[in-house]
Structure 1
């Protein structure tokens, strides 16, 4: 396919989702749920179609090109154009965002039909799909940007959508405010990361005189030679942005709470696409990072520490989505480690396969939740109240599940494929993509390799724990006993994602290295992909060991009652308590950051703002009011009083003139 022919289509990766938003805003009420879902899904699907055409065009023009769209900003000598960058890296991200996004849109038609009714707000169906299309548009701006400023617009756009969708049920949750607080937490924590990215952009503009990728990356060696400290500052401030958007230490704390949003949100934004924006940023900026070894090392260790730390927490969680949330943070740590080591191809490979199997797992978890809600409502309809009031029952708590393998067989099998891919079991996709990262680490960074291997073991262990608690044993609640398989609109996307999760390793299979050959035209200084048989065998052995131990602990003798303590609670004692409470990191933030901030805000609000500032302003107002009240007394409406006042005035004037 001729590249010059398809290049002008690039803006439509953004325009189609925007068109979907406009149509649903204008016509959604008339079209009903089915029409709304079709329009939104078609918009995402057409965006994916454009990405496919661009990929086909790049096959014969792999170096890519920039499509000039409009002159955006021009201030003095500074010019920032709104141009679409079409190369193998950006198109790979487009395919992931729009491809996985389209499947999630279709899934959402069935999921949100039930969810809006379960929450008593059918009218919010249209709002959800407007927000979902808005996210796809913002993410497409981010990955198609040709300069850092345009990238930042998309960066902030996906942050806004994350806030809107996490707080979609803003009046729900504990105390009627928990979901709103989760959205606010995500917004505030991401603003800290965005501050870092902004500082990096300011430094780039000041020292390079441009924000265009090609100009900045071409000058990077010269600037690094003259001002190495500047490149270090740029890359570390950029890393701060990555820790916020891609949920790395220490700014990862917003992502687990983001599970307050509907499950399709968790799959699309907080597993497959938005959280990978930081990984994409570092991969795109390899020309800067490779100038400063210290920056690469910091990125690498932040990723490795996050991978292990988050995996430990996942072992002690009971919420089916929270387990996957901490798993996502951990897997993002693998990706960040890879791009920090300079193994950008391995990082992008894991980004793509992770999008497949983690979207599958989140959507599978959503199917499980739908089944649990169906079972609970069925039990309530037949007069059974053994599980307590409707609002008290948690359909996401794995302790309330069990036995769903027989109740929801299709969901079980696709979930099993995603879980084994996450655990790194051959020949599923996660095995190949994770192995490339481990292979590179084993050659150059042995300590990092050991940390990542430990994280891989924990990953397999909590995968086995989740499978055993959710699908095996006997139902531990009437909701689980009454669960039913989800409708086809939910399960068909699951099957497609399961196929992708199974065969996705072919994208960069050790004998072909197709993804490496594809991305080498866009990435700076591509590290060759590696497959080391000994490392692969050790990785597989570690994963199988983790699964075996997890099964021995949780599967051999499944929990029989929802109130039964976790099998690890007694042997691990205080350690498991720490895992359950997520190492008390949220409590630490509350004590060290939030509470002192609130006390300072209260002090500034009470004595300073209301006392001093308001006191001065109110004092001036009171003075004017009292003065006005005094002068009002002479305005009594009697003509004789006014005549007397005029006479006195005349006497005073005459007296003054005489005395003068």
Structure 2
């Protein structure tokens, strides 16, 4: 018998860590702050490991639940505060708690000399609390609580350096853009209540499953509104603009947001609602198109960025597009598979980038790096594993998950989307190997002044930062072996593991052949090789060539390096008119005219009334006698004529 009461500890312990460090943590020594934060995340990770041990064996329950007393009960509408763990939840919990704990551990070393140490770890624990609630929830409403909570925590973490305008603005941008997506999510929940009378996952999905004739219509409307929410949270077109700026926060924050938690929430929500999406081919098509478009669009911007963290930020947007593409063609298991492997290598990429930045005293511009592989060898080799994984080098984790998405897209009949995904794979290889060559190879373009904070010069990070890198490097290499397809001698275990969750879907995978799968994988590897050799030639063999191409096509280079001026377009079309409206209409007419005017009128009325009353109280006996007579006459008139009216 499984003790379900342990499920409550998964979110409650990080919340307790947040309360302790957030209220009295400023009085603690840093070692005690670290201990509280690490214990609050290590125990949930251990509980999740225990859940794996009891749910993985054959014959184990497909899901376990824990339900409190009714949370909301209004006439026939009821929502319970309930958690459920099934195989999809188990994978997500493993990513959130496992990778999240490693990021906490890394942060102890990375943030050792930063102000607000207690505040940083309080925010990290708060983030873990809300993400755990999101993943464990049994209803749309409780999921929305976690959904909004990670938005709040991300705002606090991205704007951690609140004295910097760029960080404060990035936090506000993330918060506001996500509110747009959340509005779509809210409307979807209203439609669910109106049409199903419930927000419980089981109730809604069972109602759809027992009615095979339900297609399109209101289901499409709900699905499209959920897509708006997912596009905001998972940074897809047109709501992707907040994620590249999120790198203004400390590097561990970037790793947490980009890899382990927040941005994967949209993918998780679409996969969780697969029963709903399967009944709307139109909504699935929208998801696939958005994913493919975002993947190639973000990859193009990543090819010209010089900030090492910003390159990784655009790669996250692009990789999330792959996951959207997988869900859009009904290959939910492939999307979750890539979500898992991406968590390993993207967390490693950001943490390794943080190690590079730490070695160079805060430098993030790759033009001021180079030749670092001998200075920081552990960082170099671990980051190499992540670069190979994200590029899809054969038999690294990203190779299996990315190629599974491309294969499923091809056999689903979406050849154009498959081609976009294939081209994006080559672009990914190009910009990631560009980062690799510019950071670790060639001449040293930095000086010892870059590490002025340390008497030892440019050197390797402390062990507490390197240990998470090594663990994540191992996972980036072997993590994909849970999904090795039959063509490479495997059994795609992760797909079979997720069968209890996705087997009820109406979108059936089209059967393909081993020969086709092997041929597509070979083509993908060739495209990756082209991306590698292009980066090798431009940034290692002849490093000045790329700059000459930029000078030859200055307009195109400016267009891409300025991110296609999307932020400027949004500012002109949306932000500026809204500011004018608020300043002229709300500020001028309503605030200045109606509100201030009504206050002025009330003051004038008070002054006028006071003036009349002042005249009445003149101190003159004859005046008082006159007022008394006038009052008596008024009373007599009321008594005479009022009585007549009554009769």
Hey, what does 1:431 align to over in structure 2? 399
Corresponding residue SS for 1:169? coil
* 1:240-639 equivalences in 2 (<5 Å): 240-373=228-361, 395-444=363-412, 445-478=414-447, 479=449, 482-510=457-485, 511-525=490-504, 532-558=517-543, 566-628=547-609, 630-631=611-612, 633-634=614-615
Asked if structure 2 preserves the Cα contact closer than 8 Å seen for 1:94 and 1:140, the reply is yes
Gaps of 5+ in 2: 452-456, 641-647
Question: How far 1:69 moved relative to its partner?
Answer: 2.7
Give the CA deviation at 1:576. 1.7
Change (3 A) 1:263 1:630: same
1:143 to 112, 135, 141: 135
The answer to whether the 8 A contact 2:208-2:214 is kept is no
Match 2:13 to one of 16, 30, 38: 16
- Residue by residue over 1:373-399, the C-alpha shift from the partner in whole angstroms, topping out at 9 and shown as x without a partner, is 17xxxxxxxxxxxxxxxxxxxx11111
| Partner residue in 2 for 1:78 | 77
Q: Report SS of the residue matched to 1:476.
A: coil
Quote the residue 1:98 is aligned against.
97
Aligned partner of residue 62 in structure 2, secondary structure: coil
Contact kept, 8 Å, 2:215 with 2:279, in 1: the verdict is no
Q: Find the residue that maps to 2:239 and give its secondary structure.
A: coil
Deviation at 1:633, TM superposition (A): 4.6
Deviations 1:262-316 (A, max 9, x none): 1111101123221000100111111111111111111111101100100000011
Whether the 8 Å CA contact 2:406–2:418 is kept in 1: the answer is yes
- The answer to whether the aligner puts 1:58 opposite 2:55 as a matched pair is yes
**Inter-partner Cα distance in structure 1 for 2:199 and 2:237:** 28
Q: Give structure 1 stretches of 5+ with no counterpart.
A: 117-121, 375-394
Contact kept? 2:349, 2:386, Cα under 8 Å: yes
Q: What is the DSSP-based 3-state SS (H/G/I as helix, E as strand, rest coil) of the residue aligned with 2:83?
A: strand
Q: Shift in Å at residue 596 of structure 1?
A: 1.2
User: C-alpha separation between the residues in 1 aligned to 2:467 and 2:211?
Assistant: 52
Q: 1:78, CA displacement in angstroms?
A: 1.1
Conservation of the 8 A alpha-carbon contact between 1:55 and 1:88: no
Q: Name whichever of 475-484 and 79-88 sits farther off.
A: 475-484
Corresponding position of 1:392? none
Structure 2: how far apart are the matches of 1:258 and 1:70? 38
The answer on 1:166 being equivalent to 2:163 is no
CA shift at 1:632, angstroms? Answer: 6.7
Alignment check: 8 A CA contact 1:324 1:362 kept: yes
Q: CA deviation at 1:483?
A: 2.2
Report the Cα offset of residue 218 of structure 1: 1.4
How many residues align? The count is: 619
Pair 1:38-2:38 in alignment: no
Contact residue 159 and residue 249 of structure 2 kept, 8 A? yes
The answer on whether the counterparts of 2:96 and 2:131 sit within 8 Å (CA) in structure 1 is: yes
Query: For 1:439 and 1:658, how far apart are their aligned partners in 2?
Result: 98
Residue 5 of structure 1 pairs with residue 28 of structure 2: no
Q: 1:86 is paired with a residue of what secondary structure?
A: strand
CA contact (8 A) 1:88 1:519 kept: yes
Q: Which residue of 2 aligns with 1:646?
A: 624
1:621 Cα offset (Å): 2.4
Shift of 1:257: 0.9
CA separation of 1:645/1:274 partners in 2, compared to 1, >3 Å: closer, same or farther?
A: same
CA contact (8 A) 2:537 2:543 kept: no
What TM-score results when the alignment is normalised by the length of structure 2? 0.91
Query: Shift of residue 157 of structure 1?
Result: 0.7
Deviations 1:143-186 (A, max 9, x none): 111111111111111111111111111121xxxx2211111111
